[in-house]
Structures are given as C-alpha cells and as structure tokens.
Chain A
C-alpha cells in the first residue's frame, strides 16, 4: 500500500462524488438544480470513464425512478437534488422504502419554502427527509459537516443502504457543497465497502421479502434467473400484493424498526467536552461548524460548554442524547439550526423537561455565527471578536 496518500483540494459536491465512486456507485440519474448541480455534472464526467451509467432525465421524478430501476438491475445507484427537487422525489422515495431497494439520494439543501433562495444555504429539509413521503417509512439521513467527512459519509451511505436494503439520504447544504477543503482519498480497500448480498438459493425457492433472523432476504438483480415481482403495494414474502392485515401490520412495523432498532449501528456522533459540560450545543451540518468554534472559545474562557454533533440525524440519535442528559450535569441544551426548529422539537422530546432547551434559528441564508451560540450559552451578548483563522479552518477528521 502506498504511504503517500492521495490529496485533493475539492468542493463538497465533488468530494461526495469521489466517495460515491469509491463505494462502487456505477449508476446516476439526475436533473439540474442549484446548488447540487456539480454533483450531476461530475457524475456525467466520471461515470463513462469507469464504465458506469449516467443519464440526465426529463425531470426530478424521472431521475429518482430511473435510479431505482438501475438499482433493481443490480447497480449501486444514486441521484442528487436540492430542496424543490427533493420535494418532487418524495413519492418515489417512499416506493424505494416500501420495496426495500438500496439507493443513495444526495440533497444539497437550499433555502425554502418553494424556490426560496437557490444559492443560499439552509437546513430546511431535515424533516422532509423523515416525513416528506406519505406513510411511516424507514429513514436514514446522514448530515456530514466537512468536505472530508462528506467523502466518508457518502461511502457509509452506500454501505448502510446495502446493509439495510433501504434508501439513504446524504443531507448537506450549500456551504458544505461549495466549500473547498484539502481532503485525503484513501487507497482502495482502506475503507470498508459493502457489496450487495445476492441470493444463493435456487430461483424457485427465492422469496425477495422473506425475513431470516430479523433481516430481509438478499435482493436479486433483475435478469439473473430470479424472476420476481416488485410492487409498492403491501406485499407478502413472495413480493405479490397482499390484503392480509396481520402481514400489513408486521411489514409496516418491520420497515420502520429495521432502522429505529439499529440506532447504535447506524448513528455516529462527534462528542466534545461532554464529560463535565453544563451547557451542551446539539448541532449538525453547517451549524455545527460554528458550534464547534463557539464551544472551543467558551472552554478557553473557562465555561463548561460541550458539543454533541450527530453525523446521522435519522434515525434520531436519542440514545446518545439521552445519555448526555441522564448524566445530570447538563443545565441547558442549545440547538442552532438554519430552519425554524425542526430538530429542536426532537431534542425537546428526548430531554422531556429534564433541562432547558434553547433554539437558535436562522432562515436569512446566512450561517449561524459562533457569537450567536456563545451569547446563548452565556446568557448575554458577546462582543464582536476577531476570529483567528486557524480555528475557522477546521482540520477535518482530527476530532
């Protein structure tokens, strides 16, 4: 193995594609939308070179449908979009959840509702990833906060989608998408890449939705001898529609619980100064960059502040948050978000009155400033200070 690692100076959107290709993504269908445009453009450039398939579809809906078609043919498939496009993809996202097709969807968030402010960052789609499609469905949403992390989390998104046979959403925003950072591309084999499980039974015994040891059966690619049926209707183990209410209940529960019951496997968090923290900032994505800076500043000034930064927002990391609150030191949790409190409400649910929860919300397309967070922690306005560059330019992957 080479000791000289491959360094690249990349935009977030580009790092996402590097991650996808590393994970073995060989199918992309998309539609142009700001600020995720580079994701599709880079796929159009890269995929033909590795024999992969790229297609620009006629609309957002068509692109997710085509990606699902590619996934059912056996490819690791991906589609990308931003807010309004993600709204359009919701029905097909639900179909992929119901039919248990592995798929990765990238959503580079922009300000909404509606066309909103296309070139400004936002964290407005957090709830949409969870509840945008009708019905209760399994949701895995990763929220990377740096360019390097975006690379790794995109690989993890493909791994999780294969492991749990479900769509995974990589959710970031215009800042992360367009920010440039120097990142390291690992050698092939250095980072674990999960391949799709394939059935080994004779085709006549294959039941695509059979459950063994709590896990759904492997998904056979179309055209390889396992002729089966896929439908968005509630279906039995053989894939055909069913009206059996017990089966409908069991399937509905299983789909959601395959994610919710595996929180400890799926959720990853970054924790900073939590041991004795009296004020904890719960922040994700772009807002966590400011939060991290604020917490470090406060610690330097002797304030017992800490950071809990989920890299996975769905399933909601309730276990990790509960552990922090249950320790008993925490008097206040601060939730900075570039929306009007989508995750703040989830934090409140877990905290359940055990300490104060305060939100910092911003929807003016400007990222939340560290001073806003510091002010909230201290309970008074922090005077403007010159922020040293070495703190703002975060060194990724160093904790």
Chain B
C-alpha cells in the first residue's frame, strides 16, 4: 500500500537539519564523486526517504552494478553489494527471491541499466519483483570519462559522439512502464525535496518501482556541452527541462515541447513475484 509522507521523524518544516550519520558508514566520506556531481544530492534524498519509511537498516539491501552511481552502496549502512556492470538487477532478483523480507534497492546508472544491463532491467520490470530501481541518469558514462550512453540526447557531445550524438535516447520511464513496472516515476536532483517524496512512495510500493533520476555530470557532460557550471546544468536541464505532472496538466502541448515529466507517472497493482512464488509453493506442497 502506498500512502502520503506522514512518518517523517525530522520534518523540514521544523527547520532542523536532518542527521544523516545513522545511515552512513563511518569514515567513508568524502565520497568519490566529483565536485558538483548530483549523485550525492540523490543519496541524501534517499536517506531521508528511508528514514521516513521507518524500515530497519538490517532489512534493507542495496545492490549496484558498475559506474559512478554504483558506488552508492559503499556509503550506506545497509546490507550492500557492488556487483558487475549491468547486472545489479539480476543479483538483486536472486537476493530478494531467496529472502523476500529484505527491501531491495538497486542503485544503477543510465549506462549500467539501459545499455549493458538493459535485458535484466526489462525482465525485472516484467516480473514485478518487489524492488526499487534507481536510475541515476546523467546522460553519460562518467566513470570511464564521458562516453555517450543510451540516454545521451541527440546532438549532444561526448567522447564517443564528438560531432553530436546521432542516436535517439531511451525514455527510461516509458521503457519501464511498457516492460511492466508497477511504479514509474521521474525526479531530479534539483527538486531534491520532491525527489525525497517520490523515493518514499517508491520505497512503500510493493512491486518493481523504477525512478528515473535526472542529475548532472559537470565534469564530462557539462564541460563537453558548454555549460558554465553545474548550477547552470541544474537550472537548464533539471529545472527548465522538466515539468511536474500537475503543472503539465495546465500547459499547452507547445509549452510541453521538449520537457520531461516529473513525479509519479504510472502506478498499478499486480501480483508481486515473491507473493506469486509463495502461492505456487503453497499450491504444490498443500
């Protein structure tokens, strides 16, 4: 069941800073991400959302693949796995099936999930196994220093699209929805508080939840594509490049041109895989 955010332990309305330390592993900061990288903003939103759900750290597992975003599990004090490029959802599938009690979060990126791990991604959506897949989408391979990814927009520059990408980009949300994910949302690092709420909803959802999180890679994508600094990237791509679902309802098609929708884009109810498996075992043994 999904509910509104009500369980906040440290609401921002009270103007008290959130204490991240109970969720972080001691002595691991500063993290490896570059100055201005949005991944840290996403991580903080996630930790606040986790706190709001009240899920115990022992019951949380985070599984990642390879890439900048996949370094997230090293910092969080959950049960964590840093696996192979593209394979996070496959590892997570085995873990969750073996121990359905765990709430499994997959931390992955646009290259990791959409290219090398594309097959695992769509099949995870199809199975509707209870897991929250976070795609840190910065439109580039950061760890290997700036190659084009399946979400690099057309005409944008990377080290492997030096004259502008000629490939159309994947829409992660459309892909997830079509593949069968029962919760599909988009957020941005710029809208960090809204993202926190979306993450909370994703965590509370029972089934495969996919959140496409737009964040910025100033080191490669920003530099190659002539953004002055990360703030300009956040303003132009994350703020001006998106509209919330509520705003979009009031805008004309012309105004929506080129903008990505933010918020919960799809939600449906379908038998969760582990529940289905339990039914099967009951039927066979009963």
Interface residues of A, Cβ cutoff 8 Å to B: 27, 29, 48-49, 51, 53, 55, 57-59, 61-63, 65-75, 77, 91-92, 95, 221-225, 227-233, 240-241
Q: B123 near A230 (CB under 8 angstroms)?
A: no
Give per-residue flags for B50-64: 1 if the beta carbon is below 8 A from chain A beta carbons, else 0: 000000011101010
**A230 CB contacts on chain B under 8 angstroms:** 80-82
**B25 CB contacts on chain A under 8 angstroms:** 229, 240
Which of B28, B77, B83, B102 is within 8 Å of A222, CB to CB?
Answer: B102
Tally B residues with Cβ within 8 Å of A: 39
Q: B82 near A229 (CB under 8 angstroms)?
A: yes
Least CB distance from B216 to A in Å reads 25
Q: How far is the CA of A140 from the CA of B123 in the complex (A)?
A: 32
Task: List 20 additional contacts besides A69-B90, A230-B81, A231-B82; criterion CB under 8 Å.
Answer: A27-B98, A29-B93, A55-B94, A57-B90, A58-B122, A61-B90, A62-B93, A62-B119, A62-B123, A65-B83, A66-B93, A67-B94, A69-B63, A69-B92, A73-B98, A73-B99, A73-B102, A222-B61, A227-B80, A231-B74
B84 CB within 8 Å of chain A: yes
Q: A65 near B91 (CB under 8 angstroms)?
A: yes
B161 CB within 8 Å of chain A: no
Q: B90 near A91 (CB under 8 angstroms)?
A: no
**B63 CB contacts on chain A under 8 angstroms:** 69
Q: A240 near B123 (CB under 8 angstroms)?
A: no
The majority secondary structure among interface residues of chain A is mixed
B277 CB within 8 Å of chain A: yes
A-B contact pairs, 9 of them (CB 8 A): A27-B94, A27-B97, A48-B281, A55-B94, A66-B94, A69-B98, A77-B94, A222-B99, A223-B61
Q: A223 near B79 (CB under 8 angstroms)?
A: yes
Contact flag A70-B82 (CB < 8 Å), given A51-B281, A51-B285, A227-B77: no
Q: A223 near B99 (CB under 8 angstroms)?
A: yes
Q: B97 near A68 (CB under 8 angstroms)?
A: no
Q: How far is the CA of A148 from the CA of B91 in the complex (A)?
A: 33
Contact flag A223-B59 (CB < 8 Å), given A48-B280, A229-B73, A232-B83: yes
Of listed A77, A223, A231, A241, residue having the most chain B CB within 10 A:
A223
Contact flag A69-B94 (CB < 8 Å), given A95-B84, A223-B101: yes
Least CB distance from A165 to B in Å reads 16
Q: B90 near A74 (CB under 8 angstroms)?
A: no
Q: How far is the CA of A232 from the CA of B73 in the complex (A)?
A: 13
**B223 CB contacts on chain A under 8 angstroms:** none
Q: B74 near A62 (CB under 8 angstroms)?
A: no
B156 CB within 8 Å of chain A: no
Which of B84, B95, B277, B284 is within 8 Å of A73, CB to CB?
Answer: B95
Contact flag A232-B123 (CB < 8 Å), given A27-B98, A69-B91, A75-B98: no
**A91 CB contacts on chain B under 8 angstroms:** 84
Q: A240 near B28 (CB under 8 angstroms)?
A: yes
Q: How far is the CA of A61 from the CA of B65 in the complex (A)?
A: 13
Q: A73 near B78 (CB under 8 angstroms)?
A: no
Q: A72 near B84 (CB under 8 angstroms)?
A: no
Nearest B residue to A73 by beta-carbon distance?
B98
**A29 CB contacts on chain B under 8 angstroms:** 93-94
Which of B80, B96, B119, B280 is within 8 Å of A59, CB to CB?
Answer: B119
**B186 CB contacts on chain A under 8 angstroms:** none
Q: How far is the CA of A72 from the CA of B97 in the complex (A)?
A: 11
**B61 CB contacts on chain A under 8 angstroms:** 222-223
Nearest B residue to A50 by beta-carbon distance?
B285
Contact flag A224-B93 (CB < 8 Å), given A49-B284, A51-B285, A62-B119: no
B266 CB within 8 Å of chain A: no
**A69 CB contacts on chain B under 8 angstroms:** 63, 81, 90-98
**B73 CB contacts on chain A under 8 angstroms:** 229
Q: How far is the CA of A57 from the CA of B117 in the complex (A)?
A: 13
Least CB distance from A91 to B in Å reads 6
Q: A232 near B82 (CB under 8 angstroms)?
A: yes
Q: How far is the CA of A62 from the CA of B97 in the complex (A)?
A: 14
**B259 CB contacts on chain A under 8 angstroms:** none
Q: A72 near B90 (CB under 8 angstroms)?
A: no
Q: How far is the CA of A224 from the CA of B78 in the complex (A)?
A: 11
B87 CB within 8 Å of chain A: yes
Q: How far is the CA of A231 from the CA of B95 in the complex (A)?
A: 15
Least CB distance from B184 to A in Å reads 20
Which of A72, A92, A241 is within 8 Å of B87, CB to CB?
Answer: A92
Q: How far is the CA of A92 from the CA of B94 in the complex (A)?
A: 13
Q: How far is the CA of A69 from the CA of B131 in the complex (A)?
A: 14
